[in-house]
Amino acid sequence: MSDADKPPYAMRGNRVVHRTAGEIVHSAATFCRMFRVNRKTRLNIAQFFESLSTRSICIDPIEDSEWLLFTDAICSPETFTILVPESTYVKACNGDETAISTICHEIGHLVLAHKAVLHNEKSAKPSQGEDAEWQADEFAEYLMSRMGITSSKQLTLNFRDE
């Protein structure tokens, strides 16, 4: 089957600079070395989240009653801030895998520098490697595996933020 016959990849998020799974793993591995992410991290997630501030990544829990967004979480690449409902933050600190995965996904957006890119090759078909959501999921999955958490990706895929 030639490229032209394949159905176009359905993007879930912003179209960003293309990355392969290997490139994302490389970034995630560097991140894990920097923040010493390993199996012990899961037992002290709060400390891990706080350690992010040493690299100017801020996680800002927002009171659930004030959370008006239709997403699980959101990140702002301009300010390096991740906004999450307080309940998600607390759940993550208590070891909830879905909540940890949600926050790791947002960390992925920041570490992979997912700014809204004005793509200059709009004529080319989008590919999975250009999908910010796919990239952030791959990043989160690597972090989760380093923490010894089996992938909850399949369960949460449909509830991801955009």
Is the Cβ of residue 38 or residue 79 nearer to Zn ion in the bound state? 79
Closest to 17 in 3D by CA, of 136, 139, 131: 131
Is the Cβ of residue 130 or residue 133 nearer to Zn ion in the bound state? 133
Shortest reach from residue 108's CB to Zn ion, in Å: 8
Shortest reach from residue 45's CB to Zn ion, in Å: 19
Is the Cβ of residue 43 or residue 157 nearer to Zn ion in the bound state? 157
Binding site for Zn ion (CB under 5 A): 133, 136, 161
CB atoms within 10 A of CB 113: 11
Within a 13 Å sphere around the CA of 127, how many CA atoms are in the beta-carbon half?
10
Shortest reach from residue 54's CB to Zn ion, in Å: 23
d(C-alpha 99, C-alpha 84), whole Å: 10
